Amino acid sequence: MHNYAGMLPFQLETRQRLGDALYRYMVGQPADAQLAAADANSQDLQRYRLLPRVMRATKGIDTRVMLGGQRWAAPLGVGAFAGDVIFHPEGLLPIARACKRLQLPLAISEETVTPLAEICDAYQGCWLQLRAAGDLPRIERLIRHAADCQAAGIILTVLAPVHPVAGLQPGGYSIGEALQQQGLRTIGASAPGVETLPAFPGWGWNEIRHISAFAAQLKMPLMLKGILHPEDARQVPESGVDAIIASNIGLRQSARWATPAQQMPQLRQHYPGDIVMDGGIRSGTDVVVAACLGATLSLTVRPVISALVAGGEEAVFNLLAGWVNEITAISHWCGVSAISELNPSFLAAEPLS
Ligand SMILES: Cc1cc2nc3c(=O)[nH]c(=O)nc-3n(C[C@H](O)[C@H](O)[C@H](O)COP(=O)(O)O)c2cc1C
């Protein structure tokens, strides 16, 4: 179980502070994983090696990227996680402040306890992440709330982030129950805990088209998280959605989903728009590999939670700033002057098996 999420920073300290049950939830090994299995998302990224390009006379590298109509300082952001105050007394706020200092995007789970308005007051570069489940007026209400808080956009998670069967939740821990017991309400819920939503929502492209038209009216960019099948990717442009997030939700419900790194070439072939990579990003170099595979930006989650638990805002800032420095150096050595110039030609022909 220790390395299921890949090597995390501050691993021992984080485990000590969280205690075994909560640490297991963060790591999130699913019931169908092999004992002591490694994180396939991270492993598949590690299989790629980069090709430096020399004598290109590049004077500098511009790491900035455009996504969702906004410019970010580097192709890196922090992804969504539920139950922020369980991990730190200030919840997401230290991460929001670190992201503001670095001008990197932050996704906020609708299962966050800290009010959205408070987080957006600290930093407006936030995307509200909603579960594509339940009735449409609830989603519309939350999108309007995000627009009122001047959030930067919306992420709709279309692959369920929860397991429907009690006891099969990631790491065998129910964050909803933990929050409910403490009387804590989350952004998307009408009562303490998290909103009870169907695990198999039965949504189709009609619902996505409806939500994307609604979000467009409010000038909120919309991204779909959890796209891995090329046929799904092919249908995205007709739905009005602005970008997709290649993600298996960190293999938290099943260890057997394909990995984003594995699917990127096919997704790139079938979808012309922006693709965000999520899952297994554990260094700035992983971000460069993702950019070579065609990702506009990569999201990271568990390393940031680990840093938050162990050292608050400064630890999160130092972690992300270190990765941004790595992205700058490695892409410079690839001989490019902008991140968008990275492409599969910078990857050694055959990934290691
Ligand atoms: C503790 C925890 C809670 C999470 N909660 C959510 C959530 O509420 N919504 C969501 O879309 N993904 C959620 N995720 C999944 C992450 O956003 C991300 O997809 C996954 O952790 C893979 O990234 P990583 O390998 O960098 O951690 C959660 C992940 C963790 C570790």
pLDDT at 2: 53
d(CA 25, CA 166): 14
Put residue 167 in one of left, alpha, beta given phi > 0 → left and psi -120 to 50 → alpha: left
Which atom of ligand 1 sits closest to the CA of residue 110?
8
Residues 52-68 have a mean pLDDT of 95
CA–CA distances in Å: residue 276 to residues 143, 149, 177, 197: 21, 24, 31, 25
pLDDT at residue 51 is higher than 60: yes
pLDDT at 61: 96
Q: What is the DSSP letter of 350?
A: S
Contact criterion met (CB below 8 Å) for 18 and 26: yes
pLDDT at 31: 82
Which residue is closest in CA terms to ligand 1's atom 23? 279
* CA dihedral sign of residues 110, 264, 231, 236: positive
Which residue is closest in CA terms to ligand 1's atom 21? 250
Identify each DSSP E strand in the chain by its residue range. 65-67, 70-72, 76-78, 106-109, 126-131, 153-157, 222-225, 243-246, 274-278, 297-300
Q: Which residues of 274-290 are buried (b: 16+ CB within 10 A; e: fewer)?
A: bbbbbbbbbbbbbbbbb
Q: What is the DSSP letter of 72?
A: E
Which atom of ligand 1 sits closest to the CA of residue 26?
1
pLDDT at 110: 98
Identify each DSSP E strand in 285-337 by its residue range. 297-300
Distance 114 CA to ligand 1 centre (A): 17
pLDDT tens for 71-111 read 999 999 999 999 999 999 999 999 999 999 999 999 999 99
Distance 222 CA to ligand 1 centre (A): 18
pLDDT at 241: 98
Q: Can you name the residues that pair with 70 across neighbouring β-strands?
A: 67
Q: How confident is the model at residue 338 (pLDDT cuts 50, 70, 90)?
A: very high
- Which of the listed residues 86, 109, 281 should we mutate to test ligand 1's pocket, taking the one with most ligand atoms within 8 A of CB? 109
Q: What percent of the chain has pLDDT over 90?
A: 86
Distance 301 CA to ligand 1 centre (A): 6
Distance 37 CA to ligand 1 centre (A): 18
Pocket of ligand 1 from Cβ distances under 6 Å = 5, 26, 28, 41, 79-82, 109, 111, 129, 157, 161, 225, 247, 249-250, 278-281, 300-302
Closest by Cα among 74, 61, 73, 69 to 341: 61
d(CA 221, CA 152): 7
pLDDT tens for 160-176 read 767 777 777 888 888 99
pLDDT at 111: 97
pLDDT at 126: 98
Identify each DSSP E strand in 196-273 by its residue range. 222-225, 243-246
Which residue is closest in CA terms to ligand 1's atom 2? 81
pLDDT at 201: 87
Closest by Cα among 264, 215, 270, 203 to 241: 215
Which atom of ligand 1 sits closest to the CA of residue 225?
11
Distance 171 CA to ligand 1 centre (A): 13
- Which of the listed residues 159, 252, 278, 305 should we mutate to test ligand 1's pocket, taking the one with most ligand atoms within 8 A of CB? 252
Chain mean pLDDT for the chain: 94
Tokens (6 digits) for 252: 């938290």
Which atom of ligand 1 sits closest to the CA of residue 6?
25
d(CA 211, CA 222): 9
Q: pTM above the 0.80 mark?
A: yes
pLDDT at residue 1 is higher than 60: no
pLDDT at 161: 64
